[in-house]
Amino acid sequence: MHQYDISEDYSNSSSKMAIAHPQEFRLFWALDKDGDGFVQKAELLTILESNGLTRKDQRLVSLFTKMDAIEGDAVVFEQFLSLTQTVGPLVERLLRGELALPDFKQFSEEVKVEFEKVRENRSGEQATYIPPLAEVNPEQFGLAVISIDGQLLEIGDSETDFSVQSACKPFNYCFALNELGAEKVHQHVGMEPSGQPFNARVLMNDGSGRPHNPMINAGAIMSASLIKANQPLHHRLDHVRQMWSKMTGGSMPRFNAWMAQEESRTGDNNRALDYMMKAAGVLLNGEDSVDHELRDALELYFSACALEINARELATAAATLANGGVCPVTEERVFSEDNVRNCLTLMQICGMYDGSGEFSVKIGLPAKSGVGGAVILVVPQLMGICIWSPRLDVIGNSARGVDMATRLAQKYRIHIYDSNSMLSDRPDPRMQAAKVRSEQTTAALRAASFGDTRTLRRLYSEQISVEAGDYDQRTPLHLAAAEGHIEVVKYLLEQGVDANPKDRWGGTPLEDAELGEHQNVVKLLKEQGAVSGAAQHINSDVGITEEASVHSDSASVAVLLWAASEGDIETLQRCLASGVPISVADYDGRTALHLAASEGHINVLNYLLAHDHPVHVRDRWGTTPFDEAEREGHDEAKNILDQAQIDFHKLEVKPDSSEMNRVIRFLDRVTQACGVKPVIHNKVASVLDDLLALLISQNEAKTNFLINIRINVESNKLQIMTTFNGPEWNPFEEKCSDSENQEDDFDIAGIEIKMIRQLSDLDSRKFS
């Protein structure tokens, strides 16, 4: 007999890799729906896509290439590992639900709905002052959102080029800041709203003669004049385009020479502004500025306005600002944080022409629009948005752009002055809805079950409900009563909570107090008019109880349990990927398996069982998941759980020594559930090892066989039985005996272990 070191038993390479890469294996395991060691390629692709990680993302090129190279649809762990290693922590964060827009799929669907409503808005007129703008089809409408993690949403004409026009102004300002620093740049341009139209021929009257800010024409011409001032014009334009390509993750903006020419042809007002600035002595070379310097600044400005770009690219540039200056898809820093902060502030107060104030009040985001119909929005630390549609409102902002921005701000908590209260009826797209809900409900329930009145008082003062129920409609009053916390019961009743809320089983707090034999609570509740609700609990006694796990992060536990109760596999996967043990129980001993059984969610039951969720877990009332399925009349769930209880006694192994680890885990589980002393494990394992060794040496064919283990605690017997192609042995019935039995008895630590080799005639000859 010998001892087992589990790690040595991993002879197969997948398992070895799993040990070497536990983090990644956890992700793989979470995705492996039926626990068979494979993840479907199609499913991986769906997860990437539904989270906005697309083939357009250059960070993911090698990931997709590797994925395409995998033959067939099954991905094994080695392949998965190599896939995740190509993209760093992105996949891990994705699978844990930690990307900037955690509920990307839902967000996308909602935004699409709003987009279609805005499509109906045909108000406004497109710009007609030059033919290249007048000729654009005004029906076009595109939107792109890109999160600071590079999650991309595109709707409508998001790939159609349009003239960037004044949407170039914040970026030109950033280019100048990059080159010269804020102090120098602001010697030439102010930081104040002008209170005048964007092209007004006014300069600051503070004695400086500077243009008011970089978002109006005079200021933007000034920014252009500062960019690579000593270089020839074509180098300067090249530089501007290179900078654009850094912000957009690699694509060069196109240059529309006709547009630039037309801008210049009709650009006398801008010329006037340029000369006013010269006269005010505020250009780079002051009053000594010469004509060609002025002309080049204007030409660069016209050319920058005449760049063409699509909504996706412009949204990426906006996301670079949202991301503190780092382009989300290349992860390359383009601007310093300070420069971004300056730019966003000025966009916030001056970005939307004469509508900037109202826009800032209503939408509350740094934004910039242009006569080409673009509106960019920056949601700091979250995402960049570009909405493009050519018709402009009377102020000169894209009518659909403003409409869409307004709807987004009405729907989500993205206004920079929105509170971060969890009580808002508008969701914060930064937060996973499943987590928000759990955080809201769990705190009070847990506090009540721990007798923590202080926390309940705090929650109450924060207007968080101390009455709301969980997935089983268990309320704080139920739990305080169940645990006999009379102070909490008193406090809750004082706050006017319902004294007779009914839980899933019809039970009231009074029954909880009675079950817990908390006489003082019973008395108090009765005084307050509490009644019994005649709760229906059932518990079958199969003589086995498996322990649920504990996990310190109660909000995560609640996320898992809510997900199980709602049939939400995706959230379950995220929980597992984040390291929440699958078999955690709440304050009532309720597990994911109980909830899936109660609600009859077959997909969840199968997922949980495939991930080794214990089947004989018992809640506060001694009820198992099987009992719950039975009580609710979910027949399919009942059958699955019935089979799982039978399978609990049975392990199918291949004749291969690498299987030993599974055998040991299996044995641990069974012996623990049956209260068998842990010291026996190694000895039993040795017996099994002998058995396996024998089988391997004798059985050259790769047939699967069964090892059935039955532990009968009452008779203090443990039986191990192997079956070759024999009839299946049902551990709840007597063993079948259609073939010869050879029995060996082992007396181990006070328990009799009976090893029954149940063999066919042929095999028994081999063993003799």
- Residue 8 carries which DSSP code? G
Find the binder of ligand GLU among 217, 323, 554, 661 (CB under 6 A): 217
Least distance between ligand GLU and beta carbon 411 (Å): 28
Least distance between ligand GLU and beta carbon 269 (Å): 7
Least distance between ligand GLU and beta carbon 402 (Å): 15
Contact between 262 and ligand GLU per CB under 6 A: no
Find the binder of ligand GLU among 215, 321, 347, 371 (CB under 6 A): 371
Least distance between ligand GLU and beta carbon 370 (Å): 4
Q: Which is nearer to ligand GLU, 100 or 215 (CB)?
A: 215
Q: Which is nearer to ligand GLU, 175 or 666 (CB)?
A: 175
766: phi then psi, degrees, rounded to nearest 5? -60, -35
Q: Which is nearer to ligand GLU, 165 or 442 (CB)?
A: 165
x/- binding map, residues 270-309, to ligand GLU, per CB under 6 A?
A: x----------------------------------x----
Which residues 169-198 are close enough to bind ligand GLU by CB under 6 A? 198
Q: Which is nearer to ligand GLU, 126 or 217 (CB)?
A: 217
Q: Which is nearer to ligand GLU, 258 or 767 (CB)?
A: 258
Least distance between ligand GLU and beta carbon 166 (Å): 3
Consecutive H or E run containing 179: helix 169-180
Q: Alpha carbon 510 to chain centroid distance?
A: 40
Separation CA 41–CA 543 (nearest Å): 42
Least distance between ligand GLU and beta carbon 397 (Å): 10
Least distance between ligand GLU and beta carbon 120 (Å): 25
Please tell me whether residue 477 adopts helix, strand or coil conformation: helix
Least distance between ligand GLU and beta carbon 208 (Å): 22
Which residues 512-571 are close enough to bind ligand GLU by CB under 6 A? none
Consecutive H or E run containing 667: helix 660-673
Least distance between ligand GLU and beta carbon 298 (Å): 10
Contact between 199 and ligand GLU per CB under 6 A: yes
Separation CA 641–CA 595 (nearest Å): 13
Separation CA 508–CA 422 (nearest Å): 29
Q: Is 712 exposed, middle or buried (0-12, 13-18, 19+ CB in 10 A)?
A: middle
Consecutive H or E run containing 660: helix 660-673
Q: Which is nearer to ligand GLU, 94 or 215 (CB)?
A: 215
Q: Which residue is nearest to ligand GLU (CB)?
A: 166
Contact between 166 and ligand GLU per CB under 6 A: yes
Contact between 261 and ligand GLU per CB under 6 A: no
Contact between 133 and ligand GLU per CB under 6 A: no
Which three-class secondary structure string do you get for 81-111? HHHHHHCCCHHHHHHCCCCCCCCHHHHHHHH
Separation CA 247–CA 714 (nearest Å): 72
Tell me which amino acid residue 254 is: R
Least distance between ligand GLU and beta carbon 111 (Å): 25
Separation CA 684–CA 593 (nearest Å): 29
Tell me which amino acid residue 479 is: L
Least distance between ligand GLU and beta carbon 448 (Å): 59
Q: Which is nearer to ligand GLU, 378 or 644 (CB)?
A: 378
Q: Which residues contact 44 (CB under 8 A, 6 or more apart)?
A: 31, 67, 75, 83
x/- binding map, residues 58-97, to ligand GLU, per CB under 6 A?
A: ----------------------------------------
Consecutive H or E run containing 711: strand 705-712
Q: Which is nearer to ligand GLU, 166 or 245 (CB)?
A: 166
Contact between 438 and ligand GLU per CB under 6 A: no
Q: How many CB atoms lie within 10 A of CB 254?
A: 14
Contact between 370 and ligand GLU per CB under 6 A: yes
Please tell me whether residue 308 adopts helix, strand or coil conformation: strand
Least distance between ligand GLU and beta carbon 154 (Å): 23
Asked whether the CA dihedral 348, 349, 354, 355 is positive or negative, the reply is positive
- Residue 45 carries which DSSP code? H
Find the binder of ligand GLU among 9, 157, 263, 313 (CB under 6 A): 263
Least distance between ligand GLU and beta carbon 122 (Å): 21
Instruction: Produce one character per residue of 178-213: b if its CB has 16 or more CB atoms within 10 Å, e if not.
Output: bebebeebbebbbbebbeeebbbebbbeeebbbbbb
Find the binder of ligand GLU among 51, 126, 165, 223 (CB under 6 A): 165
Both structure tokens of 752? 């009799």
Both structure tokens of 331? 């992860």
Q: Is 591 exposed, middle or buried (0-12, 13-18, 19+ CB in 10 A)?
A: buried
Instruction: Single out the residue of 642, 686, 680 nearest to residue 663, CA to CA.
Output: 686
Q: What number of chain residues touch ligand GLU (CB under 6 A)?
A: 10
Separation CA 611–CA 41 (nearest Å): 20
Q: Which is nearer to ligand GLU, 158 or 217 (CB)?
A: 217
> Contact residues for ligand GLU (CB under 6 A)?
165-166, 198-199, 217, 263, 270, 305, 370-371
